[in-house]
Chains A and B, each alone.
Chain A
Amino acid sequence: DQQVKQNSPSLSVQEGRISILNCDYTNSMFDYFLWYKKYPAEGPTFLISISSIKDKNEDGRFTVFLNKSAKHLSLHIVPSQPGDSAVYFCAASGVRGAQKLVFGQGTRLTINP
């Protein structure tokens, strides 16, 4: 079951530059998408979300873009900071009112000083 895919297991970015994390999905019934950040030995922390009726949502340094026709979303972090080093999970939720989240495999982001 690969309904949500993050094809890059890892990404390394210089401090101050833009980090772009990508996520693809296959189920066209998904209508809500979320990004979570996870540090070792901690639970996932909610970062930002986007509804399928939008194509962009911005919160401080974090922006999520949704391309419904391509079934693709991305998370942009700018500028990247050392504290952003973590595993980032993309997640999707189904028909409005459904509660289950389907997660991608995660991308480990490393910010280099």
Chain B
Amino acid sequence: EPEVTQTPSHQVTQMGQEVILRCVPISNHLYFYWYRQILGQKVEFLVSFYNNEISEKSEIFDDQFSVERPDGSNFTLKIRSTKLEDSAMYFCASSTGPNYGYTFGSGTRLTVV
């Protein structure tokens, strides 16, 4: 069964450093997403991406965050200057269209120290 692949599975970074979280969505999917889950809290929407541009973003997705699809297969989330409160599980997801059941990756656990 096709999978969404995320790397790394766990990243530890110092506060203020830049991190890039990587995702390989399912190849025939057209919509891409990032969500995050802070420990003990609900899964929260960050951003959706379609046709090489952001289609929707949440208030969490401020100027410190950016997304890119650099080569037609990878989909990346960059956090420019990490803060302690950015520590969370970050999930990438993809779908064939809006309102279809997304396929989520296994997540990247980001720990900011």
Contacts and interface: CB of A to CB of B under 8 A. Distances in A.
Given A43-B107, A44-B91, A106-B42, A99 B101 contact: no
Contacts of A49: 101
A103 B42 contact: yes
A99 B4 contact: no
Given A99-B55, A100-B48, A46 B42 contact: no
B91 A43 contact: yes
Contacts of B56: 98-100
A: contact size bracket? 20 to 34
Contacts of B4: 43
B: contact size bracket? 20 to 34
B7 to A, nearest CB: 13
A103 B104 CA distance: 14
B65 interface: no
A73 to B, nearest CB: 15
Interface in A1-50: 32, 34, 36, 41-46, 49
A32 to B, nearest CB: 5
Interface in B58-75: 58
Given A97-B98, A100-B56, A43 B44 contact: no
Contacts of B44: 103
A98 B6 CA distance: 24
Contacts of B43: 44, 89, 91, 103
Contacts of B33: 99
B103 interface: yes
Contacts of A103: 42-44
16 contacts: A32-B99, A42-B106, A42-B107, A43-B93, A44-B43, A44-B91, A44-B104, A46-B102, A49-B101, A97-B99, A98-B99, A99-B55, A99-B95, A100-B56, A101-B45, A104-B42
Given A43-B4, A46-B101, A98-B56, 11 more contacts: A32-B99, A36-B104, A43-B106, A44-B43, A98-B99, A99-B48, A99-B50, A99-B95, A100-B58, A101-B35, A103-B42
